[in-house]
Amino acid sequence: MMRWLALAVTLAAPVQAGTLEGRLVTFTVETWDDREAPLLVARGRTVVVGKGVEFGLGPEGFTGGLDVVPVAVEIGPTRIELSYPQGIGRFYEAKFNGYVLRFETDCALFEKVAIDPAGTTMQGVEVWAETGALYIDVAGLGYGPDSTLALELQVADCPLS
């Protein structure tokens, strides 16, 4: 009788909120004034979200006068942190110049995306989500070794692809 009670309690427990942990994600850098005619689309890198830094990008070589700014990206279950371990400068000014994280899912993965002011030193960052993609626009902003960006996410309970 106790087994049935324990099973009933387990089944009635609320489903945990969604997580990015274990999800397949492709990270790329894009620069465009017109999304259909980008000025730069860096080589995408794909990983499964786990412990530690998922992406540590460095320069890839100039394309049309633009190159990738070194960035470290750590993705947690409901948080993304970016930092700039080397170099000082300003991001190229465009309608969009930043990062796109595409998670393998067909559902609207992000219910809420917010910049965490306590973990962010960069001002003026714009962030939005489209289905399974997260866009982080840093166009025209300054960066350096003390620059950080932290995002708090409410992740939908989408099935893993």
Q: Count structural domains, the chain.
A: 1
Can you point out the beta strands (E) in the chain? 24-32, 40-41, 45-48, 53-57, 71-75, 79-83, 89-90, 96-103, 110-115, 126-130, 133-137, 142-143, 148-155
Residue 7 belongs to a domain: no
Residue 33 belongs to a domain: yes
Closest CA to 100 of 127, 120, 121: 127
Find the domain containing 139 and state its range: 18-155
Residue 12 belongs to a domain: no
Residue 9 belongs to a domain: no
Compare 52 and 35 and report the one with higher pLDDT.
35
Mean pLDDT lowest for which of 27-31, 52-56, 59-63, 107-111? 59-63
Residue with tokens 């099935």: 159
Residue 161 belongs to a domain: no
- In the predicted model, what is the mean pLDDT of the chain? 86
Helix (H, G, I), strand (E, B) or coil at 7: helix
Residue 110 belongs to a domain: yes
Token pair listed for 50? 């786990």
Residue 6 belongs to a domain: no
Residue 148 belongs to a domain: yes
- Residue 3 has a pLDDT of 41
- Residue 105 has a pLDDT of 86
Q: 114: how many CB neighbours lie within 10 A of its CB? A: 11
